[in-house]
């Protein structure tokens, strides 16, 4: 499995595993960059990138002049649902893959125009996909991207990570609005996700925004619950 991961992702997975096994405890000071680099046979730059991402994910925190500490974590570490499926799967040591069902240029209808802050009839990319982790169908996605902001989308890009492609173009989300609800799988979704008709699905609507507050991505994702669920720990 690790052969499919970038070196910094191997470092991230090692740290997450240490936390899950309770070897790293909340508030504990973990090894230095140099110690981790020597232990995992990678460069300090690789370790630094992994630590930076875990700090951004609120898993770790840094104290200047002291080191890196484990944050008090929720009991359950899982996907950030609906956002960056490829990176989330890789971070968990899973192999992501995608089946592209449709890529098309469409005109925005009224509801899409309101969510995307554009005019009715403005062009959008429509992307319909099934996302897999370790060859298990996890989610069905229907997404729209602002054509004027995301000018290039190809079938090859859509079979991999659109967000990673956009990041290379300097397009990244600053924040995401999510609406989470539940529905029952109809015949179509049962076939897409290889689950019985009537199975419960987690229904997630996402609107991803740039730093200036402009939406560039409207997405709808249905997660099957046989191998995926949402759990949150709530602190007082």
- Which pLDDT value is given to residue 124? 98
Is the residue at 232 inside a domain?
Answer: no
Is the residue at 236 inside a domain?
Answer: no
Last residue of a domain, one of 70, 99, 127: 70
Q: Give the pair of three-digit tokens for residue 53.
A: 């991402």
- Which pLDDT value is given to residue 151? 87
Is the residue at 219 inside a domain?
Answer: yes
- Which pLDDT value is given to residue 118? 97
What are the helix (H) ranges across the chain? 7-20, 33-40, 44-56, 85-91, 110-116, 155-158, 162-168, 187-193
Interacting residues of 230 by C-beta distance below 8 A, sequence separation 6+? 78, 81, 180, 202
Residue numbers in the chain where pLDDT is lower than 50:
1, 75-77
**Do 57 and 147 sit in the same domain of this protein?**
no
Do 39 and 15 touch, CB atoms closer than 8 A?
no
- Which pLDDT value is given to residue 19? 85
Domain count of the fold of the chain: 2
- Which pLDDT value is given to residue 231? 59
- Which pLDDT value is given to residue 230? 64
The DSSP symbol for 59 reads S
Interacting residues of 14 by C-beta distance below 8 A, sequence separation 6+? 36, 40
CATH number of residue 27's parent domain? 1.10.10.10
- Which pLDDT value is given to residue 22? 83
**Do 93 and 66 sit in the same domain of this protein?**
no
- Which pLDDT value is given to residue 91? 65
Last residue of a domain, one of 70, 103, 124: 70
- Say whether 110 sits in a helix, a strand or coil: helix
CA dihedral 13, 19, 23, 26 (to 10 degrees): 150
CATH number of residue 134's parent domain? 3.40.1410.10
Is the residue at 230 inside a domain?
Answer: no
- Which pLDDT value is given to residue 153? 94
**Do 153 and 215 sit in the same domain of this protein?**
yes
**Do 216 and 168 sit in the same domain of this protein?**
yes
- Which pLDDT value is given to residue 76? 42
Strand partners of residue 67: 63
**Do 118 and 166 sit in the same domain of this protein?**
yes
Query: Rounded to the nearest 10 degrees, what angle do helices 7-20 and 33-40 cross at?
Result: 100
Range of the domain at 29: 2-70
Is the residue at 178 inside a domain?
Answer: yes
- Which pLDDT value is given to residue 4? 60
Is the residue at 214 inside a domain?
Answer: yes
Placement of tokens 């200036």 in the chain: 212
Is the residue at 113 inside a domain?
Answer: yes
**Do 94 and 58 sit in the same domain of this protein?**
no
């Amino acid at each position: 499995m690790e052969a499919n991961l970038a070196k910094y992702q191997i470092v991230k997975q090692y740290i997450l595993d240490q936390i899950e096994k309770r070897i790293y405890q909340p508030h504990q000071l973990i090894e230095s960059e140099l110690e981790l680099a020597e232990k995992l046979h990678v460069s300090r730059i690789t370790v630094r990138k992994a630590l930076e991402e875990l700090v951004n994910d609120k898993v770790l925190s840094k104290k200047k002049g002291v080191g890196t500490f484990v944050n008090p974590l929720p009991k359950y570490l899982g996907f950030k649902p609906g956002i960056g499926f490829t990176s989330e799967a890789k971070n968990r040591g899973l192999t992501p893959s995608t089946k592209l069902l449709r890529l098309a240029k469409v005109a925005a209808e009224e509801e899409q125009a309101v969510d995307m802050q554009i005019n009715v009839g403005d062009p959008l990319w429509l992307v319909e996909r099934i996302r897999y982790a370790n060859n298990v169908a996890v989610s069905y996605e229907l997404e729209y991207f602002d054509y004027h902001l995301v000018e290039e989308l190809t079938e090859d890009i859509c079979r991999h990570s659109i967000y990673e492609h956009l990041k290379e173009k300097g397009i990244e989300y600053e924040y995401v609005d999510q609406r989470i609800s539940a529905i029952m799988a109809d015949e179509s979704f049962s076939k897409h996700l290889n689950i019985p008709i009537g199975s419960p699905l987690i229904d997630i609507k996402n609107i991803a925004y740039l730093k200036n507050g402009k939406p560039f991505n409207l997405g709808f994702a249905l997660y099957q619950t046989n191998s995926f669920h949402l759990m949150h720990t709530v602190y007082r």
